[in-house]
Amino acid sequence: MTTVTGHSANKPIWFDVMTTNPDGARKFYEALFGWTYEIGGEDTGFYTMCKIGNDSAAGLGGMMPGQEMPPAWTVYFGVTDADATIAKVLQNGGHVVVPTMDVLEHGRMAVCMDSTGAAFGLWQPKMHVGATVIEQHGAMGWSEVNTRDASAASAFYRDVFSLDAQKLDDPSMTYYMLNQDEVAVAGVLQMNADWGDAPPHWMPYFVVSDLDVSTEVVKSNGGTVTHGPFDSPYGRIAVIMDPQGAALSIIQPPTV
């Protein structure tokens, strides 16, 4: 098990899903990832910590009454000062969707949209440091933004989060790695005509130990495999949708 006690700032540190049916979502992800749950009280909106052992892998919450958006996963960048980061977002052509707010004693958050229209979260940790288990079955493994303008998006994240954006030398696609101290922390993928009318969005990747087994679990528990499985240099991947309609990717890393 790969556990951590905290994360450096300016990279993705947490994923959560907001859904129309928290009970149904919990059953689906328990079957897929083996998660257990710590459901918060009314003061948290019954926000759920998804656990692997004693460690937090992701979050799950119910949609608020009147909230007009489809179920979706959000990728959160850890920051040391959410308000200062908001200023950088605005300076670089982004927008604020949910202004900064304190979440009890757990941290300070906001939701923003980048200059190309993809939504992402900011999390300034207090008691909640982000995921404390990573890179194992059921835990976060990677995230990337799928966008209509990868050059503009990579420049946005480079400037807001002080990252190094490096374009891959791959004629089959346009892809940028966002690096921190020469370590890749996220990606930027250029959407092409194959994406149809899908809007720009961030995609979380969760690690699975056997991708083909996991895709069968998805289908037998009311989910959908929307793309794949397919092999890549980084592992075997599938894009899936949970029964409530939230999209995510699962990846089986290559055997070392």
User: Which tokens in the block code for residue 90?
Assistant: 């605005």
- Does the residue 165 lie in any domain? yes
Q: Give the pair of three-digit tokens for residue 40.
A: 């918060």
Tokens representing 149?
A: 């303008």
Residues (pLDDT < 70) of the chain are: 1, 66, 256
Picking from 101, 125, 149, the residue at the C-terminal end of a domain is 125
In this structure, are 161 and 213 located in the same domain? yes
Same domain, yes or no: 147 and 248:
yes
Q: Is residue 45 part of a domain?
A: yes
Residue 117 inside a domain? The answer is yes
Q: The domain containing residue 185 runs over which residues?
A: 140-252
32: domain CATH number?
A: 3.10.180.10
Statement to judge: residues 104 and 24 lie in one domain: yes
DSSP 3-state of 23: helix
- Encode pLDDT of 190-218 as tens digits: 999 999 999 999 999 999 999 999 999 99
Identify whether residues 102 and 192 lie together within a single domain: no
First to last CA, the chain: 16
In this structure, is residue 133 part of a structural domain? no
173 and 82 within one domain: no
144 near 69, Cβ under 8 Å? no
**Is 119 found in the same domain as 29?**
yes
Residue 256 to residue 253: CA distance in whole angstroms: 9
> What pLDDT, on the 0 to 100 scale, is given for residue 123?
98
Phi, psi of 215 (to 5 degrees): -65, -30
Q: For CA atoms 76, 19, 99, 92, give the dihedral sign.
A: positive
| 0.95 exceeded by pTM | yes
Rounded to whole angstroms, the Cα distance separating 174 from 27 reads 37
